[in-house]
Amino acid sequence: MLSIEAVTVRYPRLERPALDQVSFQVNPGEIVALLGPNGSGKTTLMKAICGLVRPVAGSVRVGAVDVLAAPEEARSRLGLLLHAERSFYYRLSGFQNLLFFAGMDNLFGAAARTRIEQLLAHFGLQEARDLPFMKYSLGMRKKLSLARLLLRNPDLVLLDEPTANLDPASVREVLEHLRELRKEGKAVLLASHQLSEVERVADRIALLRTGRLLAFDQMEKLQQSQHGPRLQLVLAGPVSAAVLRRLERLPGVRSLDTRGLAQPTPLPQLALVLEATAELAPLLASLGALNLPLVQINQSQTTLEEFFLQAVA
């Protein structure tokens, strides 16, 4: 549904390209998370897909339509939610805002009103339909943005930090809406800093840093590509610095995560982050030889946050 090929964007006052030869695809019925630190080019990429920013090289296709060659046709197939809070008319009600934007998308009269009422009901905004937008809470604003985006029934949905500044209940609702979009066969590109939320919904991850695509794959594969599994050691008591140094030098251990030692509730914990090639049997034997006050050992995958921090470091 979305095909980005070697897209390069240069801003006049920026020495390095804002986007440098970025390529990846998003399929129908798929959520791709666009990750990267601040200034990595996520919003620029979203805007380049919509034609709001002009690439100096590369191509963007929405379905079979080239965004640069046929911008209006391409834009008619996508919906955008930008992170910026300012994107509605503050003095107009939610309903009036949607009516206006629906009209600009050629949806008028009874058809527009019916669709708007459906969307307001879907997002639980019926009671606030006549409230001025300025009175809406952050969560309501995000939901109204989603409703506006869906007015045009897009094939491709672009979301720039849709859960930023939302309370946990609203985050859960927004994520549920994203799953619904996937179920309806829409292609979703989701830019976010909320890695735990991304883990819950994304099928694939595209990781940007300083305008370059560092990685693009399924989450599990990316996590494995950086390092192997994680061994969580639950301990009955503290361990000495000398033991920690020995743990760090064990074959197959990439690093130690000692954050659990500082907060020993209910028991201190220590995590060994392993190399992808680490063999578990000899490692466990070495652990036994150290006489650690072990209560339990759990094996888990590295988190997306660990992958992210390592990849962009």
Partner 1 sequence: MMLVHTQKLWLFVLHNLWTSLSYRLALVLGIASGVIGLLQFALLGLFLQEGNTFPAIAQYGGNILAFLITGSVFTAFVGMALSTFGAFVRLEMKMGTLEHLLISRTPLVHLMLYEGLMNFLATVVSAIVTLTILVLLFGVPLQVNLLGVTASLLLLTFALLGMGLASAGILLVSKQGDPITWVFTTLTGLLSGVLYPVSILPAWLQTISWTLPTTQALHALRLSLTGAASPHDLAAPLGALLLWGAISLPLGALVLRWGLNQARRQGSLGEF
Q: Would you say 298 and 231 are in contact if contact means Cβ atoms under 8 Å apart?
A: yes
Residue 160: CB minimum distance to partner 1, A: 11
Among 6, 11, 180, 284, interactor with partner 1 by CB under 8 A: 11
Alpha carbon distance 202, 219 (integer Å) = 8
Residue 266: CB minimum distance to partner 1, A: 49
- Please give the distance of CA 224 from its chain centroid, rounded to a whole number: 19
- 99-107, 174-182, 225-233, 260-268 -> range binding partner 1 (CB under 8 A): 99-107
Alpha carbon distance 101, 120 (integer Å) = 14
Alpha carbon distance 292, 238 (integer Å) = 9
Q: Would you say 146 and 82 are in contact if contact means Cβ atoms under 8 Å apart?
A: no
Using CB under 8 A as the binding rule, whether residue 44 contacts partner 1 is answered as yes
Among 38, 106, 263, 291, interactor with partner 1 by CB under 8 A: 106
Count the Cβ atoms, other than its own, within 10 Å of residue 245: 10
Joined tokens for residue 216: 């693009």
Residue 17 or 268 with smaller CB distance to partner 1: 17
Residue 103: CB minimum distance to partner 1, A: 4
Using CB under 8 A as the binding rule, whether residue 233 contacts partner 1 is answered as no
Joined tokens for residue 312: 């962009």
Using CB under 8 A as the binding rule, whether residue 105 contacts partner 1 is answered as yes
Sheet containing 19-26: order of strands? 19-26, 2-9, 57-62, 65-66
Using CB under 8 A as the binding rule, whether residue 15 contacts partner 1 is answered as no
Within 110-139, which residues bind partner 1 (CB under 8 A)? 132
The residues of the shown chain that bind partner 1, judged by CB under 8 A, are 9, 11-12, 18, 44, 47, 50-54, 72, 75-76, 78, 80, 82, 84-92, 96, 99-101, 103-106, 108-109, 132, 148, 152
